[in-house]
Amino acid sequence: MKKNLFLILCSCFTLFNLLNAKELDLKLLDKKDQSIIKISALTTVGDTNKLYQVLNEGLDNGLSVNEVKEVLVQTYAYAGFPRSLGGIGTFMKVMEDRKAKGIEDKEGKESSPLPENFNKDEYGAKVRAKLAGQDKIPEPSGYQLFSPIIDTYLKEHLFADIFVRDILTPKQRELSTISVLAALGNVKGPIAFHFKASMNSGWTKDELKEFTLVIKDCLGEKKAQEANSVLETLK
């Protein structure tokens, strides 16, 4: 009897939260953008209960199945395999439940085949330079000289193997990336770089200010303020 009462109370509390949830009134970021932010951030912190909800919302907001998968794969480069795989496992459950309800979701396009003789080192170096707002690939310096292997991984895997996949645009990938970094916290250097990379990919500063509002909505005031404090220092 006590167990049944507890379950009823939990269900009522969940229903109350859903009925009283306020939709963000944003002028610049569309619902798909907001879903990418939430999916990336909640995957990073491992909140699978909220993630389950926003994954459903993402599909309802027009993201394809393959786009959602790609966002979850993108998160691993910054949050690690455990969080990414946790998000993928949650998405598998979402898809199973939606199929049971008779919901047919758009699968979306697959990634295009790689061009012949694809030079990962060259491609990745060009992508990184473009994100940094540089017309030419700069000479190696700093960490690139101190630990050449991490530079190789960044160029050949992150900025080549991952970025060459055209299921998401570079602009969408940067939105996912800053969401992961905001969720991680205490990464001022990387999030400053990727805020600039986001602007170099097409996002405006006003749009990124709305990004911090979405972070506040799903992760709370502290994470949003930390990200916004870095954003405000950038031109």
**CB contact at 8 A, 96 and 90:** no
* 118: phi then psi, degrees, rounded to nearest 5: -65, 120
Helix, strand, coil percent values for the chain (each to nearest 5): 70, 0, 30
Average pLDDT over residues 129-143: 95
Assigned fold of 28-107+134-231: AhpD-like (1.20.1290)
**CB contact at 8 A, 43 and 87:** yes
Q: Using 50, 70 and 90 to split pLDDT, how confident is the model at 115? A: confident
Share of the chain above pLDDT 70, in %: 90
- The residue written with tokens 């393959």 in the block is 66
Global confidence as pTM: 0.89
Q: Is the pLDDT of residue 3 over 50?
A: no
For residue 191, give the nearest of 210, 202, 205, 177 by alpha carbon: 177
Average pLDDT over residues 172-179: 98
Q: Is the pLDDT of residue 157 over 60?
A: yes
Question: In this predicted structure, what is the pLDDT of residue 235?
Answer: 82
Q: 119 vs 92, 111, 127, 153, 158, CA distance in Å?
A: 34, 18, 12, 14, 14
For the chain, give the mean pLDDT. 92
Average pLDDT over residues 23-27: 83
